[in-house]
Structure 1
Amino acid sequence: MKKVFSLLLCLPLAGFMKTTAQVNAVEFGKNRVQYQKFKWKYYQTDNFNTYFSQDGLALGKYVAQIAENELASIEEFVEYGLQRRANIVVYNNFDEYQQSNIGIGIDWQNAGGVTKLVNNKMIVFYDGNHDNLKRQIREGIAKVLVDNLLFGDDLGEFAANQALLDLPKWLTDGYVAYAAENWSNKLDDDLKSALLSGRYNNFYQFAFEKPLLAGHSFWRYIGDKYGKSKTTYMLYLARVYRNLNTASARVTKKKKFKEVLQEFMTEESQKYYKDIRGRRNVPKGQLSVSEFIDKKDFIRFNANPVPRSLSWAVVEFKQGKYCVVFHENFVNRKILLKFGTRTREDEKNPNYPILAWDGKGTRLAVLYNEEGKTKLFVYDVINRVKIVKQEMKQFSQVQDMKYMLDANTLLFSAVKSGQTDIFVYKIDRQTTEQVTNDVYDDLDASFVAFPNKTGIIFSSNRPSAMAGSNDDSLPGKRFNVFLIDNWNKSEFKQVSQLTNLKQGNARFPSQYNNAHFTFVSDENGINNRYAGFFTTERAGLDTIVYIGDEILRNPTPKDVDSLLKDWSKSDIDSVGFFSVTNDSAYVFPITNYQSSLLETRTAGDNQQVSEVVRQGDFKFLYRLRVDENTLRRRNITA
């Protein structure tokens, strides 16, 4: 049973007040600046209080539902039960999450007093993808259970046991991550890049630089080699004996802990060296850029769509600060935008900034969030000036942005009231048209034009093209590619499913040539490019009947008569028709890379795509032409 309560969250301030923000005086790298006031409500279920703020009702309900569903499996794995109701704080997006003061020495207050959030709290945020939110929920639950198991449930007991139990943080945090998510293709690619980079002579160097990845991969290694149940048993022994060598010897048959770490480094490295043999190293592109990844990272690479152009835009990220940089001909470098606050934390915004070229390569749109506001500007490459500056108040966040048909129309995958849907945005009028409206995550939207069919292609975790949507609907297990008829303005837009993957996800779909679309899938464990041959045929007309406030699709005479009687009418109000097609696609891989594709974009209307791959400590940025030979031969095995 769920109960909904309302409260106003007031955070005590240390430091000083500004007119638009409140700043707390805390250690370097831990400042939290608040640009808005949060009015909190919460769902109370059997085991959780789930707090949500304005426009977050749907997210709060989802989090409460998922937390209750996932609790039992995590308790079974950890072999420990939740002792008291835990608190979950849900933020609508990453930018609101960064404003949180929770966890830096400040407690919640409400009219009833202070509610302590010590080791039974979790803070999560929505980035437009419910899969990522679910993973955060599982990690939070696992963290609460493991902390209570290792250090106790009481604040005094927690501090005392934490001082006595000297386990490496990478070990405990890695166990939490492993309990929440056994493993993933992204983690596998990160581990491969780390081990094959040649930077680490031993496990301790690896754990010092990448503690969470090292810890997670260590427990996955123990689980795969000695059995998943042995992971919890090993942590139990380490807690009881307060000695990792004793725990390791009992689990691995007399091997010391250091020996196990050495075997991990050797065996995992050999596995990856064996895997990359026979795979293609890197693609060959017309535009090729390499960047060394150290303290500075390079994300959101966007190549100019003009085939002969050697210009591109990229986002540089370093210690919490973002720079949108425009490069011309490998010579000129112009900073279009700089924002962010310097911090020791290396957590990037999962969505912003977003970059998009128009089809002619003369305008670059940039969408970003600064001081709690989502802003858009358009940079004119020819005249070297920003010709559009707008604030976007329509959405809580935007997941993706592309130009559509002309330089005045943008296509968004954006979040509104906790739903990720597709929108068409007119820049000059600042108006939006909603294309999809359901609880499923509709990501990576892109306009396509095939012979006899145009529409918007996108990636979605809806179970099927005809899946219904209501408040209790939950997203499916994986993302597939769908096509929607955007010209039909009624609520009965035709949605066609173009892929049906059994493993992995299909993401970043876009047009490849006049008969093919392309997407990226990790079906074989590595993100590779796939192509789909699209076909369509007309299937007739569907009839829409309007009576009062009711709408009937292809109704029988009996249905019409019954509804007319209910509305006390003698005839229907109006009737409409729309064309229906049978759409299908044959999909196949066209690359077999050693490392996953990290990013990809369609480079305009000139049958080009951009790709980003990582090899060790380098990122390689490419602009590629459509591979017509591979499309014709279909001889790649991924």
Structure 2
Amino acid sequence: MRMRVPLFAALALVGLSGFAAAQTPFYPYYNKNNIHYDRFDWHIYATDHFEIYYYPELEHHLERVTGYAESAYQKVSSDLKHDLSFKVPLILFKTHSEFEQQNVAPGAGQEGVGAFAEPFRDRMLLPIDDPPDRLFGLITHELTHIFEFDIIPQSLIRRSVPLWVNEGLSEYERADWTPFDLMQVRDGAVADIIPKMTTEEGYGSGGARFLAYNLGHAVFEFIEAKFGQEGIRQFLFSLRKSVIGGGEDAYQEAFKMSPEEFDQAFDRYLKERFKPFRDKERPADYGRDLSPNPEKTRFSQAWSIAPSPSGDLLAIITINRKDGELDIVLVSSKDGTVVRNLTDGFDKDYGFTNLTQMGVDGFAMPWMSWSPKGDRLAYFVRTEKERSLIVQNVLTRKIEVRVPMKSVDEPESPSFSPDGRLVAFSAMRGGTRDIYTVDLESQDVVNLTLDDFFDFGPAYAPNGRFILYNARVSGNQKLFRLDLDTKRKTQVTFGTHDEAGAQFVDDHTIVFASTATDPAVAIEPEVARNGNIFNIWTLDMNTGELRQFTDALGGNTSPVVLRDGSSHRIAFVSYYKGEHSIRTLERTEPIHSVASADFGAPGPIIDFQPPLTHALVSSNARRKGAWEKMFLEGRPPVNLGVTNNGDVFGGTQISFGDVLGDKQFNVFAASIAQYRTLSVAYVNLGSRFQYALTGFNSTQFFYGALEGVFYDPSLAPLIGRDQAIATRTVRGGSAIGLYPFNRYRRLEVSGGLVNLTEGYNDPYLQAYSEAYQQELTGGQSLLRSGTLVPLGVAFVSETTVFREFGPLAGSTMRLAYDIAPKIGSTLSRQSFDGDVRYYQRLASTGVLALRLRGFKSIGDYPDYIYFGGNSEMRGYDYLQFLGQNVVFTNAELRFPIIEAALTPIGVIGGIRGVFFANMGAGWFNSQDFKFWTSDRESASVTTGYTRAASGEIVPVIEQRTIDGFRLRDARASYGIGLETFALGFPIHFDWAWRTLFNTQWEDALFVDQGGSTDFRKPRFSIWIGYDF
């Protein structure tokens, strides 16, 4: 397993001590930055069941959010007949971009994650930028997780709780089926693709990202229908016993049913529940699929579409299976042929993190907009904290306009004005979503709606005089018209159903998706509850006539107009069997027509009110103390590695953090062989500048088997590798600061006070070596003991794209300079260290990985590093090389062989292969070093040893002439290897061949080891650790 805080843990081991990394660590990456763009002034507000953490910018929302939270507690507690014995820490953020800066679980609050609850300290974290009714549902969902964690303690788990249980119960308590939630379950029931829930297989895969949530919701409604709410409670407590051990099967105990019988009963329940929808339209009823063919392209599905003004092309948001990212692809509106990928390659290569992922209405609102001339496409991307508007030329792929949206949060759904000068969009400001415009030339942003409702999906009228948009009022999404001259807002659709983003067919007709049904046809309440299906409708805004054109089983969304001269077609996204496809509407006559007035007329807008309201009590609020609420952060992680020499590495870290994760006290312990490292650190992550204060005691070993440097060459045959084990012990304290320039690059500064002790484990060898070195260097020992005051600065760049097996693409660079100045009797030196890596993806998951590492130290007491073995110099012994100067390079071709393997011990990670080549060397400043040469030279070769008359052992020297290119003092190797993941750890099997590129030279240099023949024999090794 990877360490939970890899960045500061790695720095605590090496960087803070002022010494260059002795070898590549077992997690050899520098990591991207988790940036705290904002500094929050945290306060705490206490209620009966919560401790709510907020900052002043949230204060005017605190009263209503507190009412939502207490209402949610009463609901969940009543349903489960369970009370919590503690107050729940509820950490609030004003916007999602601020939520993403949380430090409770760095990286967990990504785009697409609405909120989360963590199981170890029962904290809830969420932004409050949803409409009121949905925010109440979100709080209820996350609070249910806290109840689940309390009922089934996660720290005691022996077996995992199925995802559908955790998420399904939370959705059941939220008690709100959105049209997209129901779409997935209804589709699965009618298409007969419901997985076996008790086996935990099949429901979390594919493009249906939230299928586990929604099927789980349906399972708990099934349990309630068959066994009542008491059945739900009985199941949870039976599952508790089953999970922590000591109980029988949860299904048998709670329901007197085997898991197979439970699956069968649930399947029958769903099919019966959705039986009335069996005869609804499938996508095939609308004609051919225009989305990319997943069997012939790397693309899968279509999430949103936008037509070019000419109607010839469709821009689609699709999944690029090769890159693992969303892409914008142009396809032909005639046959779906892929014309061009506008975002080909990784998003980072275009200067942004990712395409903006829409929220819960992502399939309902537009994602892109074409310019009136049809030569440019507008869309939003994530860049640092804010999003940016991108206007891209569709012919050249060049990004012509980039507008950072620093004055608003979460902009989405761009729409070009008819003159191409403005782009309208939806965005957040002050906790409310409105419709804005941005001038592409001046980049001025103007709020058009400025009201208390959440507004979405603007679309300009063809004449540019008004904008149509979507607003959530009285619990439903309705269409409104905004007159741009008078700023008057007029509601244009009515009723207790939802409409999605609209597009103009002509100057008075709009097309949109709606969950409406014919008001003249009575529908059974249960059928209506299970329907809520998006279909394609049009509205004539002059006459008020509404026309329904589809009657789908799954749902039809994102309707657009494909213009072909004077005629037009309607294209849309249709959902069936877990897939989103693109269809066109051939029919010209509607299924039925109704008057807009049949759905009602404008009436009073009813604000959402939770079951309980709350009046703020000022005495319950206080500023959070700097060291308040410190506790143990979860279970300590475990790190494991094995060198190619068989040395076992193990490490763990215990963290004490505050409730916000901004301040941590970390105790890190690690060992390799019998040598141990212990560090204690205080880490502050609460601002953009992050820092740590560390005390450490670290002992690392190396092999001082270097004749002519540490001891006389004549003793080389008598001093074996294991006899030459030496140690470096550093004790002291240091401080490090990190300042991230952006997500990929940062500056590191450090300083400290360190006591250094180096020496051989063998006291006799130590005494001899010290005397030899002092004689050789004029009184100075290479094995140093003393005190240093190291100061350092480093620049780090990390753009690497990772997959489960390691790096896939991108680059890494760390350039460091360290100096230990002479202060009194302290040791002095200067060191330069560089590590540069490049990863070129080949096909889907093949990688060409290149690395160059260089190190040089100068001064009165130069530093030196030791390396070799594992991923550094395969084929050589672990830490075989050392020097005050180091250069080595690696080139590896990594490729997949088997994606996954079923073995007697279960499914293990895929098997990957590697072809590798390495070359490098380490040397001391006093040595006569030459990396390579082609010069002819005479070499003195020691062919053996003899005893002189005096009894002294003397070498037998033979002169040999060496020609041709060769590595004189450097070493190289090449070979093949296999890698697989077992029990979460990367295991490597390598076959390596060493070479100096000249057999004459190898015969001479290794004459006492069998010459070139033995030197070039393949060497097999096994090691555990991550590739560079």
TM-score, structure 2 normalization:
0.46
**For 1:325 and 1:520, how far apart are their aligned partners in 2?**
23
Counterparts in 2 of 1:14-33, with a 5 A limit? 14-15=9-10, 33=34
**For 1:123 and 1:138, how far apart are their aligned partners in 2?**
12
Greater mean alpha carbon deviation, residues 129-138 or residues 195-204: 195-204
Match of 1:597 in 2: 556
Which of 476, 483, 487 does residue 485 from structure 2 map onto? 487
Counterparts in 2 of 1:133-144, with a 5 A limit? 133-144=135-146
Match of 2:476 in 1: 478
AA in 2 matched with 1:76: S
Greater mean alpha carbon deviation, residues 347-356 or residues 276-285: 347-356
**For 1:392 and 1:333, how far apart are their aligned partners in 2?**
27
User: How much has 1:368 moved relative to structure 2?
Assistant: 0.7
Match of 1:339 in 2: 347
Match of 1:206 in 2: 202
Residue 215 (structure 1) aligned with residue 216 (structure 2): yes
Match of 1:499 in 2: 493
Seen in structure 2, the aligned counterparts of structure 1 residues 201 and 372 have a Cα distance that, compared at 3 Å, is closer
| Aligned residues with identical type, % of pairs | 16
Seen in structure 2, the aligned counterparts of structure 1 residues 418 and 633 have a Cα distance that, compared at 3 Å, is closer
- What secondary structure does 2:369 align onto? strand
**For 1:188 and 1:613, how far apart are their aligned partners in 2?**
14
Instruction: Kindly provide the CA deviation profile for residues 284-339 of structure 1, in whole angstroms up to 9, marking residues without a partner as x.
Output: 47982255499975455334333451453434355863333344672532333632
Instruction: Kindly provide the CA deviation profile for residues 354-406 of structure 1, in whole angstroms up to 9, marking residues without a partner as x.
Output: 42112342221121112323222212335653322222212111132111222
- What secondary structure does 1:630 align onto? coil
- What secondary structure does 1:429 align onto? coil
Larger radius of gyration: 2
Does the CA contact (< 8 Å) of 1:291 and 1:618 recur in 2? no
Match of 2:432 in 1: 419
User: How much has 1:608 moved relative to structure 2?
Assistant: 5.4
Seen in structure 2, the aligned counterparts of structure 1 residues 121 and 95 have a Cα distance that, compared at 3 Å, is same
Does the CA contact (< 8 Å) of 1:610 and 1:622 recur in 2? yes
User: How much has 1:411 moved relative to structure 2?
Assistant: 0.9
Greater mean alpha carbon deviation, residues 398-407 or residues 352-361: 352-361
- What secondary structure does 1:332 align onto? strand
Counterparts in 2 of 1:114-125, with a 5 A limit? 118-125=120-127
Does the CA contact (< 8 Å) of 1:326 and 1:335 recur in 2? yes
Does the CA contact (< 8 Å) of 1:312 and 1:326 recur in 2? yes
User: How much has 1:104 moved relative to structure 2?
Assistant: 6.1
User: How much has 1:44 moved relative to structure 2?
Assistant: 0.9
**For 1:63 and 1:622, how far apart are their aligned partners in 2?**
42
Seen in structure 2, the aligned counterparts of structure 1 residues 190 and 96 have a Cα distance that, compared at 3 Å, is farther
**For 2:467 and 2:64, how far apart are their aligned partners in 1?**
27
AA in 2 matched with 1:455: F
**For 2:563 and 2:91, how far apart are their aligned partners in 1?**
41
- What secondary structure does 1:513 align onto? coil
Which of 376, 395, 407 does residue 363 from structure 1 map onto? 376
**For 1:170 and 1:117, how far apart are their aligned partners in 2?**
16
Does the CA contact (< 8 Å) of 2:462 and 2:506 recur in 1? no
- What secondary structure does 1:398 align onto? strand
Higher helix share: 1
Does the CA contact (< 8 Å) of 1:38 and 1:53 recur in 2? no
Seen in structure 2, the aligned counterparts of structure 1 residues 280 and 39 have a Cα distance that, compared at 3 Å, is same
AA in 1 matched with 2:553: Q
Does the CA contact (< 8 Å) of 1:130 and 1:441 recur in 2? no
Instruction: Kindly provide the CA deviation profile for residues 449-473 of structure 1, in whole angstroms up to 9, marking residues without a partner as x.
Output: 69xx9522222123xxxxxxxxxxx
Does the CA contact (< 8 Å) of 1:480 and 1:497 recur in 2? yes
Residue 519 (structure 1) aligned with residue 512 (structure 2): yes
Which of 332, 337, 346 does residue 330 from structure 1 map onto? 337
Match of 1:376 in 2: 389
Match of 2:71 in 1: 69
Match of 1:109 in 2: none
Does the CA contact (< 8 Å) of 1:40 and 1:51 recur in 2? no
AA in 2 matched with 1:519: F
Seen in structure 2, the aligned counterparts of structure 1 residues 76 and 384 have a Cα distance that, compared at 3 Å, is closer
Does the CA contact (< 8 Å) of 1:222 and 1:230 recur in 2? yes
Does the CA contact (< 8 Å) of 1:42 and 1:49 recur in 2? no
User: How much has 1:448 moved relative to structure 2?
Assistant: 3.1
Seen in structure 2, the aligned counterparts of structure 1 residues 167 and 336 have a Cα distance that, compared at 3 Å, is closer
**For 2:456 and 2:513, how far apart are their aligned partners in 1?**
13
**For 2:74 and 2:447, how far apart are their aligned partners in 1?**
38
- What secondary structure does 1:216 align onto? helix
User: How much has 1:138 moved relative to structure 2?
Assistant: 0.9
Residue 188 (structure 1) aligned with residue 185 (structure 2): no
- What secondary structure does 2:347 align onto? strand
Instruction: Kindly provide the CA deviation profile for residues 87-121 of structure 1, in whole angstroms up to 9, marking residues without a partner as x.
Output: 22234444444443313699xxxxxxxxx983421
AA in 1 matched with 2:164: W
Which of 305, 322, 325 does residue 321 from structure 1 map onto? 325
**For 1:89 and 1:195, how far apart are their aligned partners in 2?**
38
- What secondary structure does 1:443 align onto? strand
Match of 1:82 in 2: 84
Does the CA contact (< 8 Å) of 1:183 and 1:220 recur in 2? no
AA in 1 matched with 2:537: Y
**For 1:43 and 1:447, how far apart are their aligned partners in 2?**
44
Match of 2:448 in 1: 435
User: How much has 1:84 moved relative to structure 2?
Assistant: 2.6
Match of 1:386 in 2: 399
Does the CA contact (< 8 Å) of 1:92 and 1:396 recur in 2? no
**For 1:403 and 1:244, how far apart are their aligned partners in 2?**
62
**For 2:534 and 2:553, how far apart are their aligned partners in 1?**
9
**For 2:218 and 2:309, how far apart are their aligned partners in 1?**
43
User: How much has 1:258 moved relative to structure 2?
Assistant: 2.7
Does the CA contact (< 8 Å) of 1:119 and 1:147 recur in 2? no
**For 2:309 and 2:356, how far apart are their aligned partners in 1?**
30
Runs of 5+ consecutive residues of structure 1 not aligned to the other structure:
1-10, 19-24, 107-115, 152-157, 463-475, 537-584
**For 1:42 and 1:295, how far apart are their aligned partners in 2?**
49
Does the CA contact (< 8 Å) of 1:421 and 1:435 recur in 2? yes
Counterparts in 2 of 1:82-101, with a 5 A limit? 82-101=84-103
Seen in structure 2, the aligned counterparts of structure 1 residues 303 and 519 have a Cα distance that, compared at 3 Å, is closer
**For 2:384 and 2:226, how far apart are their aligned partners in 1?**
48
User: How much has 1:197 moved relative to structure 2?
Assistant: 5.9
Seen in structure 2, the aligned counterparts of structure 1 residues 335 and 535 have a Cα distance that, compared at 3 Å, is closer
User: How much has 1:207 moved relative to structure 2?
Assistant: 4.5
Match of 1:258 in 2: 260
AA in 1 matched with 2:312: S
Instruction: Kindly provide the CA deviation profile for residues 133-163 of structure 1, in whole angstroms up to 9, marking residues without a partner as x.
Output: 3332111111112222332xxxxxx624x34
Higher strand share: 2
User: How much has 1:414 moved relative to structure 2?
Assistant: 0.8
Seen in structure 2, the aligned counterparts of structure 1 residues 482 and 330 have a Cα distance that, compared at 3 Å, is same
**For 1:173 and 1:279, how far apart are their aligned partners in 2?**
30
Residue 615 (structure 1) aligned with residue 576 (structure 2): yes
**For 2:493 and 2:28, how far apart are their aligned partners in 1?**
50
**For 2:388 and 2:195, how far apart are their aligned partners in 1?**
45
Residue 36 (structure 1) aligned with residue 37 (structure 2): yes
Residue 395 (structure 1) aligned with residue 436 (structure 2): no
- What secondary structure does 1:39 align onto? coil
Does the CA contact (< 8 Å) of 1:244 and 1:257 recur in 2? no
TM-score, structure 1 normalization:
0.71
Instruction: Kindly provide the CA deviation profile for residues 519-566 of structure 1, in whole angstroms up to 9, marking residues without a partner as x.
Output: 322344211122333248xxxxxxxxxxxxxxxxxxxxxxxxxxxxxx
Seen in structure 2, the aligned counterparts of structure 1 residues 298 and 413 have a Cα distance that, compared at 3 Å, is same
Counterparts in 2 of 1:501-580, with a 5 A limit? 501-502=495-496, 504-523=497-516, 524-535=531-542
**For 1:497 and 1:591, how far apart are their aligned partners in 2?**
24
Does the CA contact (< 8 Å) of 2:411 and 2:426 recur in 1? yes
- What secondary structure does 1:263 align onto? helix
Seen in structure 2, the aligned counterparts of structure 1 residues 285 and 399 have a Cα distance that, compared at 3 Å, is farther
Does the CA contact (< 8 Å) of 1:301 and 1:313 recur in 2? yes
- What secondary structure does 1:100 align onto? coil
